[in-house]
Amino acid sequence: MPGPDSILHGVRDRYAASTDFTVGLEEEYQLLDPSTFALVQRFEELIEAAPPELAPHLAGELIASEIEYRTNPHGRFADAALDLIQGRLAVAQLLEDHGMAIGLTGCHPFSTWQEQRIIDTPHYRRVEGELGYIAWINNTWSQHIHVGINDADRAIAICTAMRSVLPELLALSANSAVYTGRLTRLHSTRTSLFTRSFPRCGVPDPLANWDEYEQFVNLLTRTGSIVESTQIWWSIRPHHNFGTIEVRIADGQTEMMEALAVTALSLALIARFADDYDAGVALPADAGRFIEENLWRAQRHGLEGEMINLRTGDVRSTTDAIRALVDWTAPVHARLGLEPFLARIPVMLEEGNGAQRQRRAFEQGEDPAVTHARAAERTRRSAEEALEIVGTVKST
């Protein structure tokens, strides 16, 4: 067993005590000037000013123009969704009270990384000291979901299986098509800035069981590669502190119901893989080189491209690949109360996601500042709209 000084100490026990499909959600928000919608560096001021009921949910996230909201863990997805909605609205009000606006896209469309400052905490001093330029350019905003999974070996098997569907989740969530005032030709520029630049990031190798994962982590710590588990920035990872699987692939979502749709599908996929594992069905452990092909397609073309079907070797539209995942996970939807949230996915596939809206605005000649002003307005307004929808869900 790992000793008391190991970053793996007690982790197996946390998974043994974990409850299946508990949910925690996280969103990262941009701090914006309400007139120009450029980034402003006022994180420390906000943390000090946050009311007692909000402060425990807030955290820094590398740069001083960013703040994260973390929900409590919940037994039902609808409860976590309501927590996230209320958290977004509370952060928006806090920002407004201090002369700022809230925004959320995968990257900021025109504020440059050279203008940003990394916050002064031990963790981020370590990140900047080690990574330098790679950390400096990581001006990105994402959303994460934590899902409780009982048993460490089971969690590793599900993490390995989830690797294969990360490209579809990225394509659905793509929301960062404009960067430094230019249309980048990527639907998810955030993926280039973070996932493909940080070490120990992106799609990990398939792992057979917890022992294999433990051997790798021990190697990293013994060789001085990491000193804390959060330096493993994989897009899907076991979270040591919580006994959860954390899905980290998605761009941050401007539209609240789209954020909940992406996280609901992530939960559905984890639950369906868990059901297969429990039934003795072999879970996929696809080679990273195949998944990477689809990840590039998702990053480059978002919902407008094609995906390789890793089971058949054929190609199909990305929208059809996502529809297939929704259909495959149907047996767990009612059990987890996901139908009202997954209902937004067909709308996204038909009408477009955040990246497509950004691209249309840019191609029509709209100033990125105008586009981002609208994104800021929708970041708050869509949460107000979602509050009405989710309040109805919870009352039925």
Residue 112 belongs to some domain of the structure: yes
Domain contains 244: yes
Q: How far apart are CA 225 and CA 213, in angstroms?
A: 15
- 6 within some domain: no
Q: What pLDDT does 131 receive?
A: 95
- Which domain, by its residues, includes 80? 11-395
Q: Is 292 domain-assigned?
A: yes
Rounded distance, CA 72 to CA 69, Å? 10
Query: Does 4 reside within a domain?
Result: no
Residues of the chain with pLDDT under 50: 395
Name the pTM for this structure: 0.97
Structure confidence at residue 395 (pLDDT): 47
The domain spanning residue 18 has which CATH number? 3.30.590.20
How far is Cα 385 from Cα 371, in angstroms, rounded to an integer? 20
How many angstroms separate the CA atoms of 12 and 144, rounded?
Answer: 22
Within a domain: 1: no
| Cα–Cα distance, 368 to 371 (Å, whole number) | 5
The answer to whether 15 touches 133, Cβ cutoff 8 Å, is: no
Q: For residue 42, give both structure tokens.
A: 């006022």
Q: What is the pLDDT of residue 1?
A: 67
pLDDT of residue 16: 98
Domain total in the chain: 1
Q: Is 3 part of a structural domain of the chain?
A: no
User: What pLDDT score was predicted for residue 392?
Assistant: 74
Find the angle CA(250)-CA(198)-CA(15) to the nearest 5 degrees.
Answer: 65
Contact 267, 80 (CB under 8 A): no
Q: Rounded distance, CA 231 to CA 104, Å?
A: 24
Residues 368-378: tens digit of each pLDDT: 999 999 999 99
